Structure formats: C-alpha cells, structure tokens
Amino acid sequence: MHTRAFNTLWVIALRFGPIAKLAISHVWFLCALILSSALCARARNRVYYWLKPFVPQSLRAAIRRKLARHLRKRIGEVWPIMQGSERPPENWPGWPEGRKFAVVLTHDVESNAGLQKCRSLMEMELDLGFRSSFNFIPEGSYRVPAQLREELTARGFEVGIHDLKHDGHLFSSYRGFKRRSVRINDYAREWGASGFRAGFMLRNLDWLHDLDVQYDASTFDTDPFEPQPDGHHTIFPFWVPRPNGNGSAVPASSEGYVELPYTLPQDSTLFVLLDETTPEIWMRKLDWIAKHGGMALIDTHPDYMALNASSQKTGEYPIELYKELLNYIRSTYSGEYWPALPRQVAAHVLNIRRHPTTRDRTGVGDQAVKEA
C-alpha cells in the first residue's frame, strides 16, 4: 500500500513537477501581476519595473505577447491610424523645400547585441540614401564607444540620448528625476546630442524641461501597446512650452522644447509582439501620413533585427522588412518627402517660432500640448 501510494506520488511529481516548479518559482510575480492589474497605469508600471530584473526574459516576453494579442482584438479603430491626428497645427507652413511630408528614421539601441549591429544598419541606410538617429543608453548594460559615436556623426547620422539606465524608474519621483537629469545633461554635452527619448516611452513632459536638449521623442500619435498608452493624437511635431513655476533646474531662458512623436508603429510591436510577417502596416500608415503632409517618424531597434536570415534568433525579425519600407519610400515618393534627422525637424519648428514673419503666419509655435 505504502509502495503504491509512493509510486503514484512519484508519477505525479515527475509529470507535473516542472510545471509546478515554474509556477511556484514565479507565483509571487504572477500574484503581483494580478494585483497590479487592478492599479492605475502608473502604479502598475512601478510594480512591473520593480519586478522586471527578477523575471526571466522569456517569461516576460510570453506575457507581453499574450497581452498584446488580447489587446489588439479590443482596440478597434484607434491603431495604427487614429482619425483626427492628421489635422495640422494652426497655420502650419509646411515642410522645407516644399516637400509634401517628412521622413524621420530613429533607432533605440537597447543592448550590446544592438550595439554590434549599428554599423551594418548605418551602411544599409546609406546604400539606400537615408540617414538616421541612433539613441544610446548612457548607463545601461553596454558602453557606447566614442569611436562609434564619432563615426556616426562624421557620416551625417545623429546620436541621441536614450534614457539614463533604461530601468523604468526615471520618472518614479521628481527628486530622483532631477538627480538623474544632471547626468543626462552631462552626457548630452559630451556626446553633442540634441535629443532625448525615454526608456519604454515612460514620460512626464513637464519634468523634461529639466533636460538641456532641443527635442524629446518619447511620445507617439497612437500606440495602445505601450505601458503609458496615452497618445498625443498628432502626426506633426509640436512645441512644449515651459509651465510656470515648476521649480525647474533649467535656466529661465529656455522657453520649452520640441516634441517629436513617433507615428509609425515600433518594429518590436509589429514583429516581436504581434507576429506580423510583412511591413504592410508601415506602408499603409506611411501612405496616410504622406496624404496628409505629416511626419513619418519611425523608431526601430537594431537589437531585434536579424542581419542574416540564416542566423535569426528568437525575438528577432529579418532586417529585410525594414529595408522593404525604405525601398517603398524611395520608389513611391521620390522627391516628395523631406528626409530629415530629428534635430533638423526640431530646428524647423524652432525656426518657425523664432522667425517673426513666419511666426506671424503660423500658430505652430504656440500650439498647446494636448494630453490625451
């Protein structure tokens, strides 16, 4: 009897042991996730980024994919195009050189794997007649060699700041943000960077006035898949005026900064979370932006790009999908788009604000920030 019971227990342990072990080892994470789902987005993000370092990447990716696919069925008509976002700012003067719309390519480099692919990506874009901005994390899991930064800028690319540590805690408290903003400003000076983008697009536009940069690129027109999902519902750059009396550390001469929302879905959302196998969504959105004379700003990650199909790893997508988009832009809209670096778009908006005659004709400089 004893032996039979022992054998039965042994069979159960063998069959369900691994699952039980996985569930038990992550039970606290799952409990926290369930509990946090009842919290507001800000609190949920705090719980998530606090737990993140202790949870295996594969488990996090599986949960995110499941949530994203579930969300996709519920979002309806707000993504990838949100109607109403195509309205230009009042008296918008258009793009330089009389171009119909703007194309702005940006990359966030998340890890050492991404860092190793920057040069190949740069060469590929140059071959197709494009230049882009590479945003690097100053104090993340890798160190960006000065030589790479210099090479990028020497060849007409731009280098920007991506968060500070990329740990999801940059905006946890204003005191902490102020402390970190000093270091971000040091890196911006050292790197000659004009722009910033927050990790995970977690942001507080009022606090960003403490950064000594011309533009921020941490927002989007519509992207319900982001942890802070409120979009700004515009496919145009806009000015963020300094709010009065927020105790900012930045000299009072700085009146504000330019905000550059990304307007094409991120590569990670399309190909890693939603398992898209073609760049068709990019093209459809680009056509819509071109039709309305907006700014097609894309954020892609070399980390997720497979340079060779034969060596594609889990969580990567073929770089050909991105290449297809660039070829589509070139062949369909030759001579119609303004291929701009983010800092050039920021300079365009600043020029509109500063040039008295232009400013009289345009309200772009004074457009209020529209929080969704």
Q: Which is nearer to Zn ion, 94 or 227 (CB)?
A: 227
Helix, coil or strand: residue 158: strand
If one counts every other C-beta atom within 10 angstroms of the C-beta of residue 122, the result is: 22
In whole angstroms, the minimum distance from the beta carbon of 166 to Zn ion comes to 6
- Could you give the angle at the alpha carbon of 52 between the alpha carbons of 185 and 231, nearest 5°? 60
**Count of residues engaged in binding Zn ion, rule: CB under 5 A:** 3
In the block, tokens 């980390």 appear at 303
In whole angstroms, the minimum distance from the beta carbon of 55 to Zn ion comes to 18
Q: Which is nearer to Zn ion, 222 or 266 (CB)?
A: 266
Of the candidate spans 18-26, 42-50, 194-202, 204-212, the one that interacts with Zn ion by CB under 5 A turns out to be 194-202
Phi, psi of 146 (to 5 degrees): -60, -35
Q: Which is nearer to Zn ion, 172 or 254 (CB)?
A: 172
Q: Taking CB under 5 A as the rule, does residue 226 contact Zn ion?
A: no
In whole angstroms, the minimum distance from the beta carbon of 198 to Zn ion comes to 8
In whole angstroms, the minimum distance from the beta carbon of 53 to Zn ion comes to 15
CB 89 within 8 A of CB 293: no
Q: Pick from 323, 346, 326: which is nearest to 337 by CA?
A: 326
Residues in 95-114 that interact with Zn ion by CB under 5 A: 108, 110
Q: Taking CB under 5 A as the rule, does residue 195 contact Zn ion?
A: no
What mask of x and - would describe binding to Zn ion in positions 153 to 192, judged by CB under 5 A? ----------------------------------------
Phi, psi of 345 (to 5 degrees): -65, -40
Q: Which is nearer to Zn ion, 199 or 237 (CB)?
A: 199
Of the candidate spans 193-201, 260-268, 328-336, 358-366, the one that interacts with Zn ion by CB under 5 A turns out to be 193-201
Q: Pick from 205, 227, 230, 226: which is nearest to 39 by CA?
A: 227
Residues in 60-89 that interact with Zn ion by CB under 5 A: none
Q: Which is nearer to Zn ion, 199 or 224 (CB)?
A: 199
Q: Which is nearer to Zn ion, 164 or 364 (CB)?
A: 164
In whole angstroms, the minimum distance from the beta carbon of 300 to Zn ion comes to 11
CB 209 within 8 A of CB 242: yes
Q: Which is nearer to Zn ion, 234 or 266 (CB)?
A: 266
Amino acid letter, 104: V
DSSP conformation letters of 205-255? TTGGGGS--SEE---BS--TTSSS------SS-EEEEPPTT---SS-TT--
Q: Which is nearer to Zn ion, 106 or 367 (CB)?
A: 106
CB 161 within 8 A of CB 188: yes
Residues in 308-347 that interact with Zn ion by CB under 5 A: none
CA distances for 184 relative to 137, 157, 158, 259, 274, angstroms: 10, 20, 17, 18, 33
Distance CA 204, CA 201 (A): 10
Distance CA 183, CA 205 (A): 18
Q: Which is nearer to Zn ion, 304 or 337 (CB)?
A: 304
For Zn ion, the nearest residue by Cβ is 108
What mask of x and - would describe binding to Zn ion in positions 9 to 38, judged by CB under 5 A? ------------------------------
Between helices 280-291 and 320-332, what is the axis angle to 10°? 30
Q: Which is nearer to Zn ion, 159 or 347 (CB)?
A: 159
Q: Taking CB under 5 A as the rule, does residue 199 contact Zn ion?
A: yes
In whole angstroms, the minimum distance from the beta carbon of 200 to Zn ion comes to 6
| E strands present in the chain | 101-109, 133-136, 158-162, 195-197, 215-216, 238-241, 256-259, 295-300, 305-306, 317-318, 337-339
Binding site for Zn ion (CB under 5 A): 108, 110, 199
